[in-house]
Structure formats: structure tokens, C-alpha cells
């Protein structure tokens, strides 16, 4: 690794070469220079290492973990064969306990060899059945930062999708490879991480969910832009890529602030998803969760204490902008969603701006009253087929300032029947005609 040269050292040399410099002023100059030196030496970049782009970034993270420094991935990638303005990832970037990863005006892209995440917390992965919690993980974009899927993805979709049948993948029919999607198709994947942040990133053509959090807490996600369409032109053909959600919070996520989600996704733009997949170990390729998709009991796997502010986007695949889905005793409660604008224009309408629950037995059917509660939805404007679609149960909640426009139907749809709604107060809910 390259070493920083202390500015203090340079000043000492200048004073030796220029005796006219007043020694009386030296202490003042030295004090300022020490602070400047500390700032200039506070980062590590992958351009200081050798190997593939993934290896170099991970070497930088490992080196920074020993010293407490930040890692900066710059725009310019100085490879052994010359400089270029793209970083090709064959394997995931692994963020460690205490990692701060700064992405500075850079473009990261999955290579056609990759069957892995863009970024994953280093405590989880293939064959890791016991995930040790980590903390203080920060992923921060500066300027224009793009994470882009592969030109020819090896696999896409979740664990229920067969490659080449329902969702694209060049691994389709390859005997030695899994023939379904799994958690490796997720863009940014964090599991069992406390005190974290993900900021200012654009994620394009994700292979599955762009960001997924499992059992994460005390974090902030802000200024994330999505660009996926549920399909992609590959070798001249329009290929289907399923499950392109934007941001997913899975069971056990709590005390998280989400702000400023924009763009369009192939599937749900924001989803709270707490469902079970019993009998599958953590680290297995049979699941879309890298941790165990179970219920540990006592409410610790409930999704709770979440604030969401300022969503401006839509589902290009015609699904939902925000979805709440819990089943089998897992609960969602104490969630504030304030500010949602459907930006779909005259394109394909989303099925719902906000969907709560699901009657489909695949997801466990309608949840009992009291499993989804204290949900506060405020300032929602949408042209979706259903603005608020209650397809499961909802209790002890408040829905205010809702406008449905440019379409038939009511602003609030009780698809599962009024018997599955309890103490839900509606205020200022309106349906408006499109302007003439």
C-alpha cells in the first residue's frame, strides 16, 4: 500500500532549505499542517492494490479495517493494462465491521462472470450458517454513482424462479449450477448489521432486488434511485428479469429511516417482506434470504419502528410502489410513510400505490387482525389502479391526505373485506378526475 507523506515533513524540509523562515512562526504552521496531514492520509483506494477489480476493492477494505480508515473507490480505475472509467465486479464487495465505503463519481458493473451481489456484508455468504452481527457499516455515494447489472446475467429472479423458464440466466441448463435464483442476485445485501447507512446511489438493471436488509437496525437509507424495467435487451432479444424490487426490508429490521427513493423498478419499489421459508439453512442457495427465513419468537423478527419519507417513483412492471407483506405470525407495526408521488405518467399503471397484506395462500393468506398495525400513511398521490389496497388485515392505523386520480375505482379498496379492518381512521381521502 502507498504511504502518505506528512505535510509536516515537507515543511521541516522547506525550513531547512530556507533559513529565512521565522522559527517563531513554526509551531503555528506545524499545528495546521498536522490537521491537514491527518485528513490527507485518512483514505485507502483500490488503485493501491493489484488483482481483479473485486480483489483490489476488497484488499482496500481489509487494509482500512486494520487502521480505521475510509475506502474510496474513485472514478478512474488504474488497472495493470491501463486506466478506465468502470469497475467490473466478478465477486461481491464485502463490507466489514466498521467499514466506510465511499463511492466517488464511479461506475461499478457486474461482469458476465459474476453470480454474486454488488456489495454484501462480510459476515454472511455461501455456507455461513451462523451469522455474527456486525456494526457501523456505511456505504456512501459522492457525485454520480451507478451500480449496474451484467450485460448477460448468469441468473436473475428470486429462489422461486427457474432460470430460462421464468427469468433470464445464462446458467440455465448448466448442470453444475443452481437452476433457480437466490440471494446472490440481490444488489446490496446486508444481514445482522446495526448502525448502518446507504446513501446517494443509482442502481440500474438489478438482477433481483436492488437492496435487501435482513435483521438490520438503527440505520439510514437515503437518496437511492432505481432504474429497472422487468426486462432487458440481451443479444438483440427482450428478456424477462423478474423480482426487480427496489428496497426490501426483511424480518427483524427495525429502527430504520428511509428518505428520498426515486425512479422505477420492475417489481415493488419498496417492500416490507416478512415471510417464512422453513427448513432452509442460512447461506443456502435455496433461498432469497442469506440468513435463516424463520421466526425466532418474542417479536424480535417483526418489522417495526420504520419511517419512510418522500418516495417519487413507480413500478414499471405494473406491480406496487409500496408493499407490506407479512405472514405466519411475523408482524409489521409502527411504520410511518409520509409522502408518495406516483411518477408513472401515462405509462403502465401500478396495481397499487400501497398494498397491505395478501390473500394468496402462497404468502400465508390473510393475516389475523393485530399482525399488521399502527401503520400511518400520509400524503399519497397516485394514478394506480388502487391507491391503497388492503388485501390482508390492518388495525389501529391512520390513513390521511390521499388523492387518487386518472382512473376508475375508489381511493381505498378493502379487497379482503371490512371484517379484516379494525380501528382504521381515514381522513381527507379523495378521488379526482383528470384535468380536461
| Contact between 309 and 323 (Cβ < 8 Å) | no
Residue 52 inside a domain? The answer is: no
104-145 residue pLDDT tens: 999 999 999 999 999 999 999 999 999 999 999 999 999 999
3-class DSSP state for residue 62?
helix
Closest CA to 404 of 375, 377, 381: 381
pLDDT mean across residues, the chain: 91
Bridge partners (DSSP) of residue 120 are 94, 189
Tell whether 36 and 63 lie within a shared domain: no
Tell whether 29 and 65 lie within a shared domain: no
Residue 152 inside a domain? The answer is: yes
Backbone angles phi, psi at 294, to 5 degrees: -120, -175
Tell whether 191 and 306 lie within a shared domain: yes
Q: What is the largest CA-CA distance in the chain?
A: 89
- CA angle, residues 217, 360, 211, in degrees to nearest 5: 30
Burial of 14 (0-12, 13-18, 19+ CB in 10 A): exposed
Higher local confidence (pLDDT), 39 or 292: 292
Average pLDDT over residues 18-24: 44
295-329 residue pLDDT tens: 999 999 999 999 999 999 999 999 999 999 999 99
Three cell numbers at 286? 435455496
The pLDDT-based confidence of 359 (bands split at 50, 70, 90) is: very high
Tell whether 5 and 86 lie within a shared domain: no
Give the whole-number percent of the chain exceeding pLDDT 90: 85
Please give the pLDDT value at position 41. 58
Q: Which residues of 181-202 are buried (b: 16+ CB within 10 A; e: fewer)?
A: bbbbbbbbbbbbbebbbbbbbb
Tell whether 34 and 80 lie within a shared domain: no
Tell whether 206 and 317 lie within a shared domain: yes
The pLDDT-based confidence of 348 (bands split at 50, 70, 90) is: confident
Please give the pLDDT value at position 24. 39
Whether the per-residue pLDDT at 40 is higher than 90: the answer is: no
Whether the per-residue pLDDT at 53 is higher than 70: the answer is: yes
Containing 71, the helix (H) or strand (E) segment is: strand 70-73
Tell whether 22 and 157 lie within a shared domain: no
Tell whether 288 and 347 lie within a shared domain: yes
Average pLDDT over residues 24-46: 48
Average pLDDT over residues 198-216: 98
Euclidean distance between the first and final Cα of the chain, in Å? 65
Whether the per-residue pLDDT at 39 is higher than 70: the answer is: no
**Which residue has 396495481 as its cell numbers?**
351
Closest CA to 153 of 209, 246, 232, 243: 232
CATH number at residue 202: 2.160.20.10
| Contact between 211 and 247 (Cβ < 8 Å) | yes
CA distance 98 to 68: 7
Backbone angles phi, psi at 317, to 5 degrees: -85, 0
What global pTM score does this model have?
A: 0.91
Closest CA to 210 of 331, 123, 110, 70: 110
The residue range of the domain holding 72 is: 58-432
Please give the pLDDT value at position 185. 98
Beta strand segments in 284-356, E: 303-315, 320-326, 332-342, 352-356
Please give the pLDDT value at position 285. 96
Residue 427 inside a domain? The answer is: yes
Please give the pLDDT value at position 8. 33
Closest CA to 430 of 389, 380, 377: 380
DSSP state of 285: T
364-413 residue pLDDT tens: 899 999 999 999 999 999 999 999 999 999 999 999 999 999 878 889 99
Higher local confidence (pLDDT), 9 or 97: 97
User: What is the chain's Cα-based Rg?
Assistant: 24
DSSP state of 38: H
Please give the pLDDT value at position 378. 98
The pLDDT-based confidence of 32 (bands split at 50, 70, 90) is: very low
Residues 25, 30, 36, 42, Cα dihedral to 10°: 180
DSSP state of 367: P
Please give the pLDDT value at position 232. 97
Whether the per-residue pLDDT at 12 is higher than 90: the answer is: no
The total of structural domains in the chain comes to 2
Tell whether 23 and 138 lie within a shared domain: no
Whether the per-residue pLDDT at 19 is higher than 80: the answer is: no
DSSP state of 66: H
Q: Which residues of 144-164 are buried (b: 16+ CB within 10 A; e: fewer)?
A: ebbbbbbeebbbbbbbebebb
Average pLDDT over residues 225-254: 98
Residue 51 inside a domain? The answer is: no
Three cell numbers at 103? 463511492
Tell whether 15 and 123 lie within a shared domain: no
Average pLDDT over residues 336-343: 98
Tell whether 28 and 119 lie within a shared domain: no
Residue 87 inside a domain? The answer is: yes
Please give the pLDDT value at position 119. 99
Sign of CA dihedral 88, 202, 325, 369: positive
Tell whether 28 and 127 lie within a shared domain: no
Whether the per-residue pLDDT at 28 is higher than 70: the answer is: no
Amino acid at each position: 500500500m502507498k504511504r502518505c507523506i506528512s505535510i509536516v515533513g515537507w515543511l521541516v524540509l522547506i525550513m531547512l532549505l530556507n533559513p529565512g523562515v521565522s522559527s517563531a512562526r513554526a509551531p503555528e504552521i506545524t499545528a495546521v499542517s498536522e490537521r491537514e496531514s491527518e485528513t490527507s492520509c485518512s483514505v485507502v483506494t483500490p488503485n493501491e492494490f493489484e488483482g481483479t477489480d473485486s480483489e483490489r476493492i476488497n484488499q482496500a477494505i481489509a487494509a482500512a479495517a486494520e487502521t480505521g480508515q475510509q475506502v474510496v473507490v474513485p472514478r478512474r480505475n488504474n488497472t495493470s493494462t491501463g486506466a478506465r472509467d468502470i469497475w467490473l465486479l466478478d465477486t461481491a464487495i464485502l463490507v466489514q465491521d466498521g467499514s466506510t465505503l465511499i463511492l466517488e463519481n464511479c461506475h461499478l458493473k457486474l461482469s458476465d462472470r459474476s453470480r454474486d451481489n454488488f456489495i454484501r456484508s462480510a459476515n454472511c455468504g455461501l455456507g455461513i450458517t451462523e451469522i455474527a452481527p456486525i456494526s457501523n457499516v456505511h456505504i456512501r455515494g459522492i457525485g454520480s454513482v451507478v451500480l449496474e447489472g451484467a450485460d448477460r446475467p448468469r441468473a436473475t429472479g428470486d429462489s422461486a424462479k427457474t432460470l430460462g423458464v421464468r427469468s433470464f440466466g445464462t446458467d440455465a441448463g448448466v448442470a453444475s449450477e443452481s437452476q433457480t435464483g437466490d440471494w446472490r442476485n440481490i444488489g446490496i445485501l446486508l444481514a445482522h448489521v446495526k448502525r448502518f447507512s446507504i446513501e446517494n446511489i443509482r442502481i440500474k438493471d438489478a438482477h433481483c432486488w436492488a437492496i435487501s436488509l435482513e435483521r438490520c437496525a438503527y440505520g439510514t437509507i437515503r437518496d437511492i434511485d432505481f432504474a429497472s424495467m422487468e426486462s432487458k435487451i440481451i443479444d438483440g432479444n427482450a428478456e424477462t428479469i423478474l423480482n426487480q424490487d427496489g428496497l426490501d426490508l426483511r424480518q427483524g429490521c427495525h429502527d430504520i429511516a428511509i428518505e428520498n427513493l426515486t425512479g422505477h423498478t420492475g417489481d415493488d419499489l419498496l417492500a416490507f417482506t416478512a415471510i417464512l421459508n422453513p427448513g432452509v439453512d442460512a447461506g443456502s442457495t435455496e433461498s432469497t434470504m442469506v440468513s435463516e427465513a424463520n421466526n425466532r419468537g418474542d417479536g424480535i423478527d417483526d418489522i417495526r419502528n420504520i419511517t419512510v419519507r418522500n418516495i417519487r417513483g413507480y413500478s414499471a412492471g405494473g406491480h406496487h410502489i409500496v408493499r407490506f407483506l407479512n405472514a405466519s405470525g411475523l408482524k409489521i407495526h409502527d411504520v410511518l410513510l409520509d409522502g408518495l408521488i406516483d411518477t408513472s405518467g401515462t405509462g403502465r399503471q401500478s396495481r397499487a400505490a400501497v398494498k397491505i397484506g395478501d390473500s394468496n395462500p402462497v404468502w400465508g393468506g390473510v393475516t389475523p387482525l393485530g399482525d399488521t398495525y399502527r401503520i400511518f400513511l400520509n400524503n399519497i398521490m397516485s394514478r394506480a389502479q388502487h391507491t391503497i389496497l388492503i388485501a390482508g388485515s390492518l388495525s389501529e392505523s391512520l390513513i390521511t391526505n390521499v388523492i387518487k386520480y386518472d382512473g376508475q375505482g375508489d381511493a381505498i379498496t378493502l379487497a379482503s373485506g371490512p371484517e379484516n379492518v379494525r380501528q382504521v381512521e381515514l381522513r381527507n381521502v379523495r378521488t379526482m378526475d383528470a384535468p380536461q
